Amino acid sequence: MKNEEYEDSQLYKIRHTASHILAMAAHEFDPEVKFAIGPPIENGFYYDFEFSKPLTEDDLGTLEKSMSKIIQANLAVKHEMLSHKEGLTRIEKEDQPYKVELVEGIEDEKLGFYTIDWFSDLCKGPHVSSTGEVKAFKLLSVAGAYWRGDEKKAMLTRVYGTAFGSKKELDAHLAQLEEAKKRDHKKLGPQLDLFLFSELVGAGLPLWTPKGNILRQTLDDYVWSLRVKKGYQKVEIPHIAKSDLYKKSGHWDKFQEDLMKIETREGHTFVLKPMNCPHHTQIFARKSWSYRELPQRYANTTMVYRDEQTGELAGLSRVRSITQDDAHVFCRPDQVKDELLAVWDIVSELYAKVGFKDLSVHLSFRDPNQPDKYLGEARVWQKAEAELEQLAKQKNANYVVSPGEAAFYGPKVDFMARDSLNRQWQLATIQLDMNLPERFDLNFINSEGKEEQVIMIHAAIMGSIERFLSVLIEHYAGDFPLWLAPVQAKILPISEKFIDYGQAVATELANLGVRFELDDASETLGKRIRNAENQKVPFVLIVGEKEVADKTVTVRSRGEVEQKTVKLTELGNVFSIK
């Protein structure tokens, strides 16, 4: 559902009203509570409070009982508009400092208030007409949240909940949440020995184990195999640059607070790169190019760094060290369409390979009402946006236009994928950029012998590999397809007597290019089989007296009860990867 559709929906109104009912319940729990904000969100709602006494998840049941009473009372939800002065006076009387701050920051002559019984809240709405229309709800969790997202301001208590128009819908959603908990990459990653975080290294800086690195490298190799067919070349760049580079690119002015800076002993300011594109412009700028030599396509899988706030970090989904499978194409205007189509083909192939076949598209465009947020002239943006929309139509894409979601230097195509739990994720992105080439004076000599500005295309296929893997781990629940599984087979000799034959099986697997482990621990066979199942290994190969005599292997496939016997010389048929 599009944001606009959601905000006009009955579901949005139900959730918005549920957040106000939660505030009323919070006041019953703590009459000294201070109210901050309580909006609906994609899958529910939340409200931020400052309590005079601690509130934990054990208290959610108490809040739910209070909310149920308010809902059962079927109280009217009344809307009124007050002058700015009247609204401020009302809020000040109620001793609600966060609401006062909100009102003081609003320039509108009229302020909207929604009232349920004694509770009146500054709010634009919309809401349902009475509390009885909130048919099914559930409070989910308690978290900390800085007031207005600013770590220098007060830490508030955020209570999350969800609401639906029927109990059946709520139950289905709660079942999905339970399944999502089982698939949580923050739990599965360490369980499957893929990645970890260390307090000594720092929050938001994941460390990848050998198995985790196989995942990263296998995916990156596959993307590169697609790119090389399209004529890309690999480049490499340093992880730091002088601040001058980012001042010229515009990143310094737009994102200075998000940059990680290094001061040298000579007094120079360097930056841990937040983006790769400025570096790549300098590779292109190394010489004069003829129109016949274009396009130049540079690919580079490397880390970038962002000074994310600690409270916003979330497993692999949001980190401070971000690995981008980044590429930049420098081309003539008449080559843009073909280059965009080539990138689109790569995106389609990768996402089909990993099981995301029905991609939708967001065309992220400039907000014409906030021109100061973007580089470049309006006419340049309009031309680039028209190019992307024409491309989406040519690809018969299911697309929506999202004004205000563009990068500061150009519009982009964001690819949206739905995982096995039907959750939508923004992953790959293509950005069309006519501004950085202008800022860096990137030109070519055209067929008339004159200088002409190149067009720059940014293409991240996985985007952030960390975030991409967080989605994949949960999509597959760790049951990776054979081609991607870090360990594709475990060899289990029944006892020490059969380790030598296990080694012979290992040699055969190595010759086949299969990733395997030989588990010759002294534990029982049953326990070793369970360990392999917990590690979600696709194939378990058992060898004992009969297998040695017949030169065979007993194969157990992941998720299947029946075993089968395979000749050692025919093991390749088991591991034929489509």
Find the DSSP H helices in 198-335.
Answer: 210-229, 243-249, 251-255, 277-284
Amino acid at 501: Y
pLDDT beyond 50 at 249: yes
How many other CB atoms are found less than 10 A from the CB of residue 555? 18
Collect all residues with Cβ–Cβ distance below 8 Å to 417 and sequence separation of at least 6: 351, 356, 358, 359, 424, 425, 427, 471
More confident residue, 570 or 7: 570
CA 276 – CA 294 distance, rounded (Å): 20
pLDDT tens digit string along 12-29? 999 999 999 999 999 999
The mean per-residue pLDDT over the stretch 134-149 comes to: 92
CA 406 – CA 411 distance, rounded (Å): 5
Determine contact, residues 555/565, Cβ cutoff 8 Å: yes
pLDDT tens digit string along 318-356? 999 999 999 999 999 999 999 999 999 999 999 999 998
Amino acid at 338: D
Is the CATH number 3.40.50.800 carried by domain 489-574?
Answer: yes
pTM here? Answer: 0.83
More confident residue, 488 or 363: 488
| Burial of 4 from C-beta contacts in 10 A (0-12 / 13-18 / 19+) | exposed
pLDDT score recorded for residue 403: 84
Give the residue numbers marked as catalytic: 277, 306, 324, 326, 328, 412, 458
231: left (phi over 0), alpha (psi -120 to 50) or beta: left
- Across the beta sheet with 489-493, the strand order is 516-518, 489-493, 539-543, 552-557, 563-567
The mean per-residue pLDDT over the stretch 281-299 comes to: 97
pLDDT beyond 70 at 3: no
Look at strands 399-403 and 360-365 and give their pairing: parallel
pLDDT tens digit string along 529-543? 999 999 999 999 999
Is the CATH number 3.30.930.10 carried by domain 195-237+285-472?
Answer: yes
User: 3-class SS at 88?
Assistant: helix
Considering the segment(s) 3-183 as one domain, its CATH architecture is 2-Layer Sandwich (3.30)
Of 563, 558, 481, the C-alpha closest to 218 is 481
Of 48, 65, 43, 68, the C-alpha closest to 134 is 68
Domain with CATH 3.30.930.10 in the chain: 195-237+285-472
pLDDT tens digit string along 421-437? 888 898 999 988 888 99
| Angle at CA of residue 140, ends 192 and 117, nearest 5° | 170
Domain with CATH 3.40.50.800 in the chain: 489-574
Rounded (to 5) percent helix, strand, coil in the chain: 40, 30, 30
Determine contact, residues 33/152, Cβ cutoff 8 Å: no
pLDDT beyond 70 at 2: no
